[in-house]
Amino acid sequence: MTAALHVVPAPPPVPGHLILDQVHDFVTRFSVFPHEHCAPMLALWYAHTWAADAFYITPRLILSSPEPGSGKTRVLEIAQHLTRQPEMTAGGSAAALVRMVAAGPITVLMDEVDTVFGSGGAGNEEVRGMLNLGYKRTATIPKTKGDPASGFTVERLPIFAPTALAGLAGRMPDTITTRAITIHLRRRRHDETVEPYREAKVIRQALPIREALSAWMTEIGERLVEAEPHMPAGVDDRPAEIWEPLLAIADEAGGHWPDTARAACTHFVFNQKNTPSLGVRLLADLRALFTETRTDRMHSAEIITRLRALDDAPWSDLGGKPLDAQRLARELSSYQVAPLTFQHEGRNGKGYVTYPTTTQVEQVGLADAWARYLTATDNQFGDKGEL
C-alpha cells in the first residue's frame, strides 16, 4: 500500500502594499533622506523597473547633491538589489550605452554623471540626446551597418530603459531634469546614523524582497498597461506623465500607498528645486516687477534699471556684461514678445506691455508668455491694456 504524498501548499502571495513597505524599510536602513517622501518614491520607482514595458514613459531618477560624500552612490548600490537587471556604470560613450540598452531589458544606474556632462551640464550631447529621448518606449536611434561593397542597411536600436543618474548639483542638463524626479541629497549630520553596506549581507537580505517584487509586478503587469491613475490637483502635462507609472503601481498595491504616493507626487512636483532657464527667470522677474508697480506697460530703460538692482539676480552680469535693451529684446523674442513704442508717464519710448495692441498682431504681450511658461497665478491685469 503506497503512502499518500503530503503536498505542502504554496504560501499565499505577499500583498503589494506589504512588498512596497518592505522595499521602503530596506532603503531607509542605509540612507538618510531630506524628507519623508523620498523613500516611498524610490520604492515605487524600483517597482516600476520590473514592468517598465507596461508604460509609455519611464521617469528618470536624479540623485543630486552640492558636495561629494552625500550618499548618492549608496542609493545606487542599494538600487542594484531591488531593480530589474541593474547595470551600474560611470558613464561611457553614447554608442556603448545604446548597445547596452538595446540588448536589455536593463535598468541603468549611472554614477558620477558630473564627469559625463561637465560644468553646467552642457557637454556630451550624444549621451544627453539618448537620455532625453529614451524615456519614451517608442524611442529608437538609427545605426547603419554594412560596407560599401555589400551596401548599408539601417538598424533601429531601442533606447527605452529606466535610468537613475547621480551627480553633483548643477551638472545635469535641464532637458533631463524636466523628465526626472530629483532627490537633493545632503551630507549626514553627526547624529544621523545608517547601517554600513556589507555586500554579501545586503544581497542575502534583499533577495526575498527582490523576488517578491518581481513576482508581484509580473502578476499585475497587464493591468498596468490600461491604468489611468487620477492625478493630484494641479499635476498635469509632463509632471503627470512622469508620475503616472508610480501612481498606477501604488493604486495596485492598495493599503496606504495610493495616498502616500500622491502625497509624494504633490511634494516633488510643487517643491522641486530645479534651476529655471535664463528666459524663464526673466519672465518671472518681469511678472514680479509689473505686479509690484501695478502697471500694464513699462519702458525698457526703467525695466533694465529695476532688473539690474535685484538682489541675487543675474541681470547685472550676463557673461561679463549687464543686461541692456538689445539683450532684453533678444531673450523675450523667443517667447514672441517684442518691444513697442508708446507713451507712458508723459514720455515716448520703447518698452513692453502685458497685453497685445490691435496694431501689432504678432506682439502677444507679456501676460501670454507668463501664462504659458510660468506657474499659474491670479492675473494682476484683468483688463486688456490699450496704447
Q: Are residues 284 and 266 in the same domain?
A: no
Instruction: For cell 529695476, name the residue.
Output: 306
Supply the pLDDT for residue 10.
Answer: 61
Q: Does residue 385 belong to any structural domain of this protein?
A: no
**Last residue within a domain, chosen from 210, 239, 271:** 271
Give the model confidence (pLDDT) of 297-339 as tens digits.
999 999 999 999 998 889 998 888 999 999 999 999 888 898 9
Q: Does residue 10 belong to any structural domain of this protein?
A: no
Cβ atoms within 10 Å of 196's Cβ, excluding its own: 8
User: What CATH number is attached to the domain comprising 69?
Assistant: 3.40.50.300
Residue 68 has what DSSP assignment?
A: S
Supply the pLDDT for residue 103.
Answer: 84
Q: Are residues 244 and 306 in the same domain?
A: no
Q: What's the domain range around 325? A: 278-373
> Cα–Cα–Cα angle for 111, 139, 265, nearest 5°?
60
Q: Does residue 185 belong to any structural domain of this protein?
A: yes
Supply the pLDDT for residue 3.
Answer: 59
Q: Does residue 206 belong to any structural domain of this protein?
A: yes
- Pick from 35, 111, 113: nearest CA to 75: 111
Q: What are the distances in angstroms from CA 191 to CA 32, 134, 194, 296, 345?
A: 11, 41, 10, 53, 60
Q: Are residues 162 and 72 in the same domain?
A: yes
- Sheet strand arrangement including 107-110: 86-89, 107-110, 163-168, 60-65, 180-184
For residues 135 and 368, give the distance between their C-alpha atoms in angstroms, rounded to a whole number. Answer: 30
146, containing H or E segment: strand 140-147
Burial class (CB in 10 A: 0-12, 13-18, 19+), 156: exposed
Residue 275 has what DSSP assignment?
A: P
For residues 9 and 6, give the distance between their C-alpha atoms in angstroms, rounded to a whole number. Answer: 9
Supply the pLDDT for residue 381.
Answer: 42
Residues 6 or more apart whose CB falls under 8 angstroms from that of 183 comprise 33, 34, 38, 41, 42, 61, 62, 63, 64, 75
Say what the pTM is: 0.77
For residue 166, list its beta bridge partners.
63
Q: Does residue 3 belong to any structural domain of this protein?
A: no
Mean pLDDT by 10 residues, the chain (387 residues): 60 87 97 96 98 95 90 96 93 78 89 73 70 88 77 83 88 83 91 93 96 96 96 93 97 98 95 74 93 91 94 88 93 89 86 71 74 64 42
Q: Does residue 11 belong to any structural domain of this protein?
A: no
Q: Are residues 135 and 253 in the same domain?
A: yes
- Pick from 250, 17, 92, 68: nearest CA to 171: 68
In a 3-state reduction of DSSP, which class is residue 203?
helix
Residue 180 has what DSSP assignment?
A: E
Residue 295 corresponds to which amino acid? T
Number of domains within the chain: 2
**Last residue within a domain, chosen from 271, 298, 331:** 271
Give the model confidence (pLDDT) of 63-81 as tens digits.
998 888 899 999 999 999 9
**Last residue within a domain, chosen from 229, 251, 271:** 271
Are residues 254 and 15 in contact, defined by beta-carbon separation less than 8 angstroms? yes
For residue 65, list its beta bridge partners.
168
Q: Does residue 8 belong to any structural domain of this protein?
A: no
Instruction: For cell 554608442, name the residue.
Output: 95
Q: Are residues 158 and 56 in the same domain?
A: yes
- The alpha carbon of 256 is separated from its chain's Cα centroid by a whole number of angstroms, namely 25
Q: Are residues 91 and 212 in the same domain?
A: yes
> Cα–Cα–Cα angle for 147, 152, 156, nearest 5°?
125
Q: Are residues 114 and 186 in the same domain?
A: yes
Q: What are the distances in angstroms from CA 248 to CA 55, 188, 235, 387?
A: 10, 33, 15, 51
Instruction: For cell 523620498, name the residue.
Output: 38
Q: Does residue 76 belong to any structural domain of this protein?
A: yes
Supply the pLDDT for residue 379.
Answer: 40
- The values of phi and psi at residue 198, to 5°, are -115, 110
Give the model confidence (pLDDT) of 177-202 as tens digits.
889 999 999 999 888 999 999 999 99
197, containing H or E segment: none
C-alpha cell at 295: 502697471
Are residues 98 and 143 in contact, defined by beta-carbon separation less than 8 angstroms? yes
Residue 11 has what DSSP assignment?
A: P
